[in-house]
Amino acid sequence: MPIGFAIYPRTRKVSPELVERFRTLPVANVSDSMSRLTAAGPRLRPMHTAGVLAGPALTVRTRPGDNLMLHKAIDMAEPGDVIVVDGGGDLTNSLMGEMMLAHAIKRGVAGFVVNGSIRDADAIRVTNLPLFAAGVSHRGPYKNGPGEINVVIAIDGMTIAPGDLVLGDADGVLAVGYDDAEAVCKAATAKHAAETRQMAEIEAGTSDREWVNVSLRQLGCSGLD
């Protein structure tokens, strides 16, 4: 078997119930609950018009500019999957466009994360399936391989294993490890509830801002009233 050219089974994935619980949480709150250490980088931006990305990862590692294994991943995808593609961040050739997106929708794919380029950007915005990518290029892909499906991949230091929770909104993309997902969801839910209360206090004019002065005094700032 050639090295770097293989398809593996996915042995586990986060449950649909857990995915729906994450869907209501801002990515920023989830990120804060993970100690602000995990991120896929600012280059991955939403190419769709609006909407939340949430689902278990089906991972693809491919040679930059080649989408053969991405085609296979779409054929393998289960309803609700998020296909996450490590294309090395190369933006020269697009890895997918309108036709592949249409096929993925028929398969019930929940969305895509592409560390590379896409094309048919206008059609993708209109279709509005959640899709995050690093760029856009009209130049098409090659279909020669190699590549791997259902392996651990990394995007800008963020690792994604098959079956991990993938979440995305206008602030970017975040992966939550399978083993940590339940604990992170509980912490992020509490964080979101606390921020909702803070927003209500701001609107009511009752927000206590004394913590700012307390912090400045503790840090030795001079000139405070």
In the beta sheet, which residues pair with residue 66? Answer: 142
Q: Sort 10 into a burial class: Cβ within 10 Å, 0-12 / 13-18 / 19+.
A: middle
CA distance 68 to 89: 17
Give the tokens for residue 17.
Answer: 């119930």
DSSP tag of 141: P
- Enumerate the known binding-site residues for Mg(2+): 120
Distance CA 50, CA 33 (A): 24
**CB–CB of 62/87 below 8 Å?**
yes
Q: Which residues contact 104 (CB under 8 A, 6 or more apart)?
A: 74, 77, 83, 112, 129
List residues forming the annotated binding site for substrate: 97-100, 119
Known binding site: residues? 97-100, 119-120
